[in-house]
Each structure stands twice: as structure tokens, then as C-alpha cells.
């Protein structure tokens, strides 16, 4: 299927913003239920292709395998990846047969080919979602980077929509340093770095810190990982019970969204590393290539003579050549520029940054749907994960296919 160039697409039925694993999961699930919907969908992503940002992040951090087991992926058949990998069983990693990065990427390419989705992504960035008061037709005007606009009847936001978490002390740092010497982990590309003889400070206790440390040490750097609490060791970022009724039954039965938020927070409990990563890091610490500093925060950092002088909360001062902030992301609907006008036109309750959507993940009052971390109050702690993409797709299918479905208003406790 050839997609129209954006300037010819004046009006579309379903616009999906983002072309990552969540969007891909939604499209395959929609097509499984209703093939005819294909001609009504347009996917927008500045990269112009599926899974581009996902692949770039995994490659930049040299992540060898996923943290999710093989049943979590964008194809509607949960065993699709297993079948695809029949002759590649050596590309699964213990303890739960976690798919290798190359295997997963190859499978996603196979999914895109099988569902004939190669040409459905339009390489344009949507900069503004303008709600229109038009009960009989297009509900939104989508503005492109190029200044053109497109009318859309329904919109799905599947861009990830997270904000970088930056520690407070950063605001006090003088901007007199080269930008690659202090940056967020999202900007680090290990493949481009020569670190022999350097000392690197990584801040944060999540799995990304581990990948960065392994990559830096393999390039000859000494690494210090500093975290504000103790190192958390977990196989998954939320307990496997959150993937099914074991915990979700109680979560969905809870009508107080503040309490739901607390359940999500406790389930994820900040960053954690897998047992395999912790073992690897402790071995390197034993060999003197790494220091793991727990229960400590940076108080101040100053760039002096091409090095950072860093002061820690325990009074220690040390020098480093570069600092990487592996401090994660947070979800805040109030900070998402694309939702600014939606919030104004259709105000809905927001709990600690998370919107209270209806049961179909629809923004109440209009035909905008949200996937990913921003939908956590309706999906649970794994909303941002691959398993969350499938759960979100299941919730949205009915409403998207029967777009006149009666809006299910949640009760606000």
C-alpha cells in the first residue's frame, strides 16, 4: 500500500502519532479485527519508519536483549516471536527466554512486512493538535512541522510522551562545559565514544545505568555509579503479577485514582537492575573498574580544567571527565505540548500528572486516545512496557472500530 504524501492527505479518519512498538501493536491488532480499516489509518513519525527510535536507543546503549519475555511484542499472536525464532533459539537469554535485540528487531521487521505496513508511516512531525468544535466530521486539525495541516476525525497519541527527569543541582551548574561532558543518558551513543583512561560518573540506579557502565568500561573507562538509595535488584521493572489478574483485578476494582497512582508507584518503585546485570557490575567492582555508591546524591558539580569537580552529600569530592544522567523519565500530561489545547478545551481530572481517561483510553469529551505511560491509571504499572501496549490496544479496539461506542465515564472518587 502506498501512502499519500502528507500534502495530499487533507483529511484522515485515524491519525496515530508515533511509530514505536505501541503504535505498531495497535495497528496490527486493528487490522486483525478489521482489514478495511487500513485505508483509514495514517501513522506520523518524524523518522518516517517504524521502530526507528527504539532501535536507535538499543543500539546507542549496546543493549544485548530485552527485559520482557518473548510473549511481549507487537504481533497479535503471542507465540509469533517464538515461531519466528525456531532456528534461532540461541538468541534467547536466561532466566525467562528474553529475546536478543537483533532477534526482536528482525521479528518486528517481519511483522511490518507480513501486515504490509512498510509504507503507512509518514515522515512528518506533528507539532500541534488543535481541537475543532465539529460534531459531524473532523474533530482535530493536526499541524505539521512544514506549516501544513491535516484534518483528522480521531487521534491516537503513541509518542511515549515522557519528560526527562533532571536533578535539581543541574540548574546551579555553570554552562561553561562541552555539552557531551554532562548529558542525559538519552543523548549518549556509546558507539561514537573513545573513553580510555577517562573517569565517568553515572547517576541513577536503573538498568540503563548498568548498560552505560558496561559500555564505558569496555572502552577503558573507570566508572562510578551513584544512586540516592540502595541498588534494587529485580528481574522485571514491575512484578510479573501485574501482567494478569493477580494484581490487576484489585487495581481495576479501585475507583479512587489517587490510590491507583500509589499502587503504580509502589509497583515500579523507581529504577532497578536485573540480577544478571548486578552480578556483572559487582564482578567489575571487585576487579577495580567500577565503584557503586549507594545512598548518596550529588550536591554540586563544577567544570574546572577540563574535568568535573563533584561534591557528594556524604562530603566526598571527586574528579570525573564526564557525567551521564541516567535519572529516567516521568509522565506529566501538563508538560506535553501536544496536549496543551486538548487540556484547555476538554479539562479532565489529572492525578500527579496522569490523566483520568475513560475505559477505552479515550480523553473524555473528544476522540483522542492515549497509549503508553500516560495511560497508566487505566492500564497499571506496565503501561509503558510492551505488555502495556497489548493491553492498551485491547482496550481501544472496540472504541476505534465502533467509533460511536457510548463513552464509558469513570467515576471520580
3-state per-residue secondary structure call for the chain: CCCCCHHHCCEEEEEEECCCHHHHHHHHHHHHHCHHHHHHEEEECCCCCCCHHHHHHHHHCCCCECCCCCCCCCCCCCCHHHHHCCCCHHHEECCCCEEEHHHHHHHHHHHHHHCCCCCCEECCCEEEEEECCCCCCCCEEEEECCCCEEEEEEEEECCCCCEECCCHHHHHCCCCCCHHHEEEHHHCCHHHCCCCCCEEEEECCCHHHHHHHHHHHHCCCEEEEECCCCCCECCCCCCHHHHCHHHHHHHHHCCCHHHHHHHHHHHHCCCCECHHHHHHHHHHHHCCCEEEECCCCEEEEEEECCEEEEEECCCCEEEECEEEECCCEECCHHHCHHHHHHHHHCCCCEECCEECCCCCCECCCCCEEECCHHHHHHHCCCCCCHHHHHHHHHHHHHHHHCCCCCCCCCCCC
Write down the domain spans for the chain: 6-162+331-401, 164-232+270-328
117, 45 contact by CB (below 8 A): no
Burial class (CB in 10 A: 0-12, 13-18, 19+), 357: buried
Residue 407's pLDDT is 41
Q: Which pLDDT score is estimated for 160? A: 87
* 20 neighbors 74 (Cβ within 8 angstroms): no
CA–CA dist 244, 252 (Å, integer): 11
| Maximum C-alpha span of the chain | 68
CA-nearest of 25, 24, 331 to 160 is 331
Low-confidence residues of the chain, pLDDT below 70?
1-9, 134-137, 403-413
**Domain 164-232+270-328 in the same topology as domain 6-162+331-401:** yes
Q: How many other C-beta atoms are found inside a 10 Å radius of the C-beta of residue 362?
A: 23
- Would you say 328 and 344 are in contact if contact means Cβ atoms under 8 Å apart? no
Residue 10 is predicted with a pLDDT of: 85
pLDDT at 402: 77
pLDDT score, position 136: 56
Closest to 140 (Cα-Cα) out of 213, 73, 42: 42
C-alpha cell at 287: 576487579
Rounding to the nearest 10 degrees, give the CA dihedral for residues 382, 385, 390, 392: 60
- Which CATH number is correct for 164-232+270-328, 2.40.50.140, 2.60.40.1080, 3.40.605.10, 3.50.50.60? 3.50.50.60
Q: CATH 3.30.9.10: does it fit domain 6-162+331-401? A: no
Q: Output the pLDDT for position 138.
A: 74
CA 383 from chain center: how many Å?
9
Name the region of 412 (left: φ>0; alpha: ψ -120 to 50; beta: rest).
Answer: beta
Distance CA 33, CA 35 (A): 7
pTM of the predicted protein model: 0.93
Supply the pLDDT for residue 408: 42
Task: Look at the block and give the residue holding cell 504524501.
Answer: 5
Q: What is the pLDDT of residues 58-108, one digit of tens each?
A: 999 999 999 999 999 999 999 999 999 999 999 999 988 999 999 999 999
Bridge-partner residues for 325, per DSSP?
Answer: 184, 203
Neighbours of 215 (CB within 10 A): 22
Amino acid at each position: 500500500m502506498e501512502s499519500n504524501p502528507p500534502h495530499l492527505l487533507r483529511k484522515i479518519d485515524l491519525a496515530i502519532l508515533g511509530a514505536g512498538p505501541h503504535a505498531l501493536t495497535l495497528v496490527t491488532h486493528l487490522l486483525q479485527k478489521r482489514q478495511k480499516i487500513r485505508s483509514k489509518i495514517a501513522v506520523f513519525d518524524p523518522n518516517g519508519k517504524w521502530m526507528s527510535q527504539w532501535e536507535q536507543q538499543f543500539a546507542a546503549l549496546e543493549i544485548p536483549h530485552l527485559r520482557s519475555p518473548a510473549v511481549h511484542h507487537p504481533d497479535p499472536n503471542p507465540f509469533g516471536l517464538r515461531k519466528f525464532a525456531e532456528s534461532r533459539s540461541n538468541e534467547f537469554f536466561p532466566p525467562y527466554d528474553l529475546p536478543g535485540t537483533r532477534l526482536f528487531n528482525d521479528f518486528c521487521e517481519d511483522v511490518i512486512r507480513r501486515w504490509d505496513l512498510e509504507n503507512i508511516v509518514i515522515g512528518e512531525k506533528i507539532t500541534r493538535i488543535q481541537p475543532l468544535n465539529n460534531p459531524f466530521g473532523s474533530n482535530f486539525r493536526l499541524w505539521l512541522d512544514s506549516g501544513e495541516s491535516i484534518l483528522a476525525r480521531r487521534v491516537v497519541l503513541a509518542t511515549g510522551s515522557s519528560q526527562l527527569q533532571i536533578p535539581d543541582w543541574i540548574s546551579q551548574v555553570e554552562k561553561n562545559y562541552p555539552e557531551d561532558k554532562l548529558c542525559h543518558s538519552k543523548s549518549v551513543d556509546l558507539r561514537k565514544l573513545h573513553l580510555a583512561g577517562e573517569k565517568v560518573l553515572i547517576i541513577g540506579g536503573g538498568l540503563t545505568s548498568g548498560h552505560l557502565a558496561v559500555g564505558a568500561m569496555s572502552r577503558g573507562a573507570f566508572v562510578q555509579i551513584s544512586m540516592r538509595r540502595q541498588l534494587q535488584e529485580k528481574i522485571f521493572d514491575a512484578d510479573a503479577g501485574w501482567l494478569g489478574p493477580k494484581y490487576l483485578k484489585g487495581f481495576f476494582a479501585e475507583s479512587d485514582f489517587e490510590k491507583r497512582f500509589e499502587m503504580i508507584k509502589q509497583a515500579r518503585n523507581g529504577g532497578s537492575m536485573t540480577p544478571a546485570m548486578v552480578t556483572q557490575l559487582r564482578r567489575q567492582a571487585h576487579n577495580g573498574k567500577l565503584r557503586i555508591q549507594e545512598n548518596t546524591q550529588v550536591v554540586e558539580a563544577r567544570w574546572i580544567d577540563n574535568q568535573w569537580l563533584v561534591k557528594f552529600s556524604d562530603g566526598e569530592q571527586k574528579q570525573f571527565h564526564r557525567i551521564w544522567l541516567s535519572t529516567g523519565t516521568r509522565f506529566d500530561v501538563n508538560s506535553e505540548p501536544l496536549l496543551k489545547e486538548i487540556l484547555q478545551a476538554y479539562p479532565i481530572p489529572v492525578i500527579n500528572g496522569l490523566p483520568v481517561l475513560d475505559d477505552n483510553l479515550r480523553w473524555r469529551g473528544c476522540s483522542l486516545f492515549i497509549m503508553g505511560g500516560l495511560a497508566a491509571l487505566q492500564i497499571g504499572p506496565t503501561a509503558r512496557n510492551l505488555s502495556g501496549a497489548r493491553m492498551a490496544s485491547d482496550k481501544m479496539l472496540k472504541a476505534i472500530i465502533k467509533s460511536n461506542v457510548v463513552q464509558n465515564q469513570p467515576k471520580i472518587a
